[in-house]
Structure 1
Amino acid sequence: MDGIRTFPFPVERSVWGVGMQVGPMGGETAWPADVPLHRVHRIDFHIVMLFSGGPVRHMVDFAEYEATAGDLLWIRPGQVHRFAPTSGYRGTVLAMQPGFLPRATVEATGLYRYDLPPRLRPSDAQLEGLTASLTQLRREYEDTTTLPLSLHTAVLRHSLTAFLLRLAHLAASSAEAVRQQSDTTFTLFRDAVEKGFATNHSVSAYADALGYSRRTLVRAVRAATGQTPKGFIDKRVILEAKRLLAHTDMPIGRVGAAVGFPDAANFSKFFQQHTELTPAAFRAELR
């Protein structure tokens, strides 16, 4: 059976074949006609959608995000996503091919910060700045008469960088606000789980490594998320298992081993307890 399809950046649809596109949502710019928008798929490029209407519910990495006017969705290469079966997508969409911007700009703008949430909700002032910057980028993108291709591309890179720096600041400040609302104990636990979930599922082991009592860890995680530490760990393990089942053709036993279950039967039992589907059934539903 074929896996979930990954669609490449459609260079042939770009003005002058440059490594980016910007235009209205609903146009045939960022997605070729054969992309099954209402089905789970991946793209190997960046997408930023700035909404002027809504609401719509868009799935990214198996989580549903509701977006409405003034919201942004930032989908990074390789993330599984699916469009809602609605015509409510209104606004501007930006697509960018990896490699279009220099390395220093990629690092400065956090293009591959997969730890940040896809949905962003700017303040009125931030939205005004982002909208003006995106409008200028679109104006430069569509202007093919005043500059030769080499200068046109250089101007696009500068304009795109300006927009992405604003976007990166919004993403970082949004994440910082969340961090400030969370207890430091939870933040350290969350980071430790992100690094170790593939091999360590033990709450006590995390508590010992961080220097907290199990009771302290339980209080901190429950206050920040409403979950127990074990529930938090299991949720992260399930997400990674879903990604591997969806993104790859790895045998189910290897998927289980990759998330800390050397025994395939134990992995299948764990997965079914948390999703009400066997790993095989989950994979089959997506294909």
Structure 2
Amino acid sequence: MSDTRQTIGRLDAVHPERAGLGLCVAALRPTGGCMDRERGSPLLRADFHVVLLCSGGSGDQRVDLAPHHHRPGSLLWIRPGQVHERPPVIEGTAVCFTDDFLSGETPPPAGPSSWHFGPADLGDVRSHLTVLQGEYRRYVSGPTSSRLTTGEQMLRHLLLALLIRVEQVPPLDETRPLPPHPVARAFVEMVERCFRSIHTAEEYAAVLGYSPRTVARASAEATGLTPKQVIDARLILESRRLLAYTDLPVCAVGHRLGFEDAANFCRFFARATGMSPGTFRASHRW
């Protein structure tokens, strides 16, 4: 096995009925729809958000090596680019959407995040979801008319309301979306795009047009981390994905992440994780 594409299937945002619509709301089923795409890949990486609300059954699912347990009342939010197993056979609803659909209102990559709602919160979340589902069906399957020209705008607001209601409940894990700090947001989004080729805070600051001190202050205020810690954390996350999910040689993993010398990559990984890339791979094979 020599390439991530042999292990990890890529899911692009392709709506089954409305081309160009960056939102899909569907019942969770083991087959049909997106479940029939990339059937030969046990692992998936989507370029859109996937929110799974379980209403029946139970099962486990790993996202970026972290286990998440589905049961009635649980919700899992998988962010774009995160490597995840296929959902287990459970009953529930999947809400998939792109960053572009919400016109920049969605948080930068974080998580994944898990919730288990109590009765009151679950009732509210389901009420929001029911309204979203109804308007989604009306917009996608109903007759087209001039009165529905604002339908996509309504879906956008309903989805945003659902996500805000979800985030009013503390998640089971400790991860939090990045607060809406403009400089920090621009920095983290650029790290997500350029972490393979840019490894220093000074280079990011120069490209963004801010001083290194401004970027450092914004990063600390929004994330509690220095810019170097943000950059290194993103490199380590991708390193773990490639080491656990592929058979790429360690030197090739380092090269993909911008390390020309394999020894430098090994030292970087060991310093950040406390183990060598080979030891990590041996203990985290998927």
What TM-score, normalized to structure 2? 0.63
Contact 1:75 1:118 in 2 (8 A): yes
Residue 63 of structure 1: how far off its partner (Å): 1.3
CA distance in 1, matches of 2:170, 2:65: 20
CA distance in 2, matches of 1:20, 1:159: 11
CA distance in 2, matches of 1:117, 1:46: 10
Q: How does 1:16-27 map to 2 (within 5 A)?
A: 18-26=21-29
Match of 2:137 among 130, 136, 142: 142
Q: Which residue of 2 aligns with 1:9?
A: 13
Q: In 2 relative to 1, CA 198–97 (structure 1 residues): closer, same or farther, beyond 3 Å?
A: closer
Contact 1:14 1:21 in 2 (8 A): no
Matched, 1:156 2:160: no
Identity %: 26
CA distance in 2, matches of 1:79, 1:239: 10
Where structure 1 has 5 or more consecutive residues not aligned to the other structure, the ranges are 178-187, 200-232
Q: In 2 relative to 1, CA 118–254 (structure 1 residues): closer, same or farther, beyond 3 Å?
A: same
Residue 70 of structure 1: how far off its partner (Å): 0.2
Q: Which residue of 1 aligns with 2:50?
A: 47
CA distance in 1, matches of 2:174, 2:253: 34
Q: Which residue of 1 aligns with 2:282?
A: 276
Contact 2:63 2:112 in 1 (8 A): no
Q: Which residue of 1 aligns with 2:39?
A: 36
Give the partner amino acid of 2:151: H
CA distance in 2, matches of 1:120, 1:14: 30
Q: How does 1:69-84 map to 2 (within 5 A)?
A: 69-83=72-86
Match of 1:65 among 26, 44, 68: 68
Where structure 2 has 5 or more consecutive residues not aligned to the other structure, the ranges are 177-220
Residue 37 of structure 1: how far off its partner (Å): 7.7
Q: Which residue of 1 aligns with 2:91?
A: 90
Q: In 2 relative to 1, CA 91–254 (structure 1 residues): closer, same or farther, beyond 3 Å?
A: same
Q: In 2 relative to 1, CA 28–16 (structure 1 residues): closer, same or farther, beyond 3 Å?
A: farther
What TM-score, normalized to structure 1? 0.63
Cα displacement string for residues 219-271 of structure 1 (whole angstroms, at most 9, x for unaligned residues): xxxxxxxxxxxxxx9xx98644223555998823436875x974456669712
- The structure whose residues are more often helix, as a share, is 1
User: How many residues are matched?
Assistant: 225
Q: In 2 relative to 1, CA 8–276 (structure 1 residues): closer, same or farther, beyond 3 Å?
A: same
CA distance in 1, matches of 2:172, 2:66: 22
Residue 41 of structure 1: how far off its partner (Å): 1.6
Contact 2:113 2:172 in 1 (8 A): no
| Runs of 4+ with deviation above 3 angstroms | 14-17, 27-30, 145-149, 171-177, 190-195, 236-240, 244-250, 255-258, 260-269
Q: Which residue of 1 aligns with 2:113?
A: 118
Q: Which residue of 1 aligns with 2:169?
A: 170
Q: Secondary structure at the match of 2:166?
A: helix
